[in-house]
Structures are given as C-alpha cells and as structure tokens.
Chains A and B, each alone.
Chain A
Amino acid sequence: MHLHKYEKIWLTFGIVCLVAFLSIVGVNAFAQDHTPAGGMHTIDPEKVRETAPFNEPGVKQLDDDTYQATIIASAFAYDGGQTLQVPAGKEIIFKLTSTDVVHSFTIDNTNVNMMVVPGQVTTKSYTFKEPGKYLIICNEYCGTGHHYMYTEIEVTE
C-alpha cells in the first residue's frame, strides 16, 4: 500500500487537528468542569411528584454561591414552582425530569441544552453571565403542542 508523500502530509495534518480538537474539548470539559447535561440518577416516572426533590419544584439556595432549580417537564409545560428567578454570577444546578414523554429544557443564548428523559434525572450546572429574561423552550418533539412548550427564567443582578 503506497501513500503519496502529499497524502502523508495531509493525513498527518488532519489527525493533528482532530487530536487538538479532542484535547481542547476534553480539557475544557473535565478539567474546567464544563461537561454537558447528564447524570445517572433514576426515578419512577409515575411517582415524580412524590419523589424528592421534585415534590417541591422551584429554586432553592444551597449555599452562598450555589442554587438548585428543580423543574418538572410534562406535555406541554414546565413546572418550576411559582416563578423561575435566579441571580447572575452564581452557580445554578438545574435538575429536571419528565412525567410523560421525552422533552428538552433549552435556555436561549446559553449552553444549557438538556434532554429530559422519563425515568432519569438530568442535571446541568450553569452560571449566568448577564442578568435579564431568558426564553426557555422544548426542542425535542413531544406532540401536537410541542411548539407551544416554553417558559421564561429571570436572571437578577
């Protein structure tokens, strides 16, 4: 199997780029803690509202710098307690699950893009940089009302 000299140069360049991409995202994810949404906790999808923390959806302060937002997704709405309001510059841990089909919880203009799967609890930690009102939408098809499934989060100073 003969490789042309230029093909060797090209493939070396290509592979170096791929290794570089992987290293950059790897370091950013694992060393700087920017892993995507996930989590290994499971839950009975029929008993969501009886299971902590989903028995009390809403925003809770965990310590000085950390808040937890617990939200339930169902066709075609989100239940995050009274109003979703969190401060900018603090770590917000979003916890979600679904009572019916698969949804998403996607906050516009942020890196929060979580799949919400029945039977599983999805977790994602995010710190808002700018205060303001952010649109939240479901971007996983969930039925006739899918395109009306949205809410808002208010980020305060």
Chain B
Amino acid sequence: MTKKKQEHEENLKGTLISVFFVGFVIVAMWVAVYLMYLSQ
C-alpha cells in the first residue's frame, strides 16, 4: 500500500478523453431534461 513515488505513471490520455465523453453525455442529457422541466 505504501508505494513510493509511482514510477512515471503510464500514459492513459485516451482513457481520460474517453471518460470525459461519458461525462459529456451525462451532462448533456441531464441539462436537456432540466430545461424541458423548466419549460413545462
């Protein structure tokens, strides 16, 4: 558990961008329905 400084973290840039795509879907869908809620 007490790993010393991680030997240079592996490259997961693609992963970061991919999960942010998931985040975008979540936020976009939520905002769309919230706006619909406000309009009714």
Contacts and interface: CB of A to CB of B under 8 A. Distances in A.
Direct contact of A and B (CB under 8 A): yes
A111 B30 contact: no
A2 B34 contact: no
Contacts, number: 29
A6 B16 contact: yes
A129 to B, nearest CB: 8
B20 A13 contact: yes
Interface of B is mostly: helix
Q: How many interface residues does chain A have, given as a range?
A: 10 to 19
Given A1-B1, A6-B12, A109-B40, A21 B30 contact: yes
B39 to A, nearest CB: 9
Contacts of A24: 34
Q: How many interface residues does chain B have, given as a range?
A: 10 to 19
A9 B16 contact: yes
A9 B19 CA distance: 10
Nearest to A2: B3
A35 to B, nearest CB: 13
A109 B13 CA distance: 44
Nearest to A11: B19
A110 B20 contact: no
A6 B34 contact: no
Contacts of B12: 4, 6
12 contacts: A2-B3, A4-B12, A5-B9, A6-B12, A6-B15, A10-B16, A10-B19, A13-B23, A14-B23, A17-B26, A21-B30, A110-B40
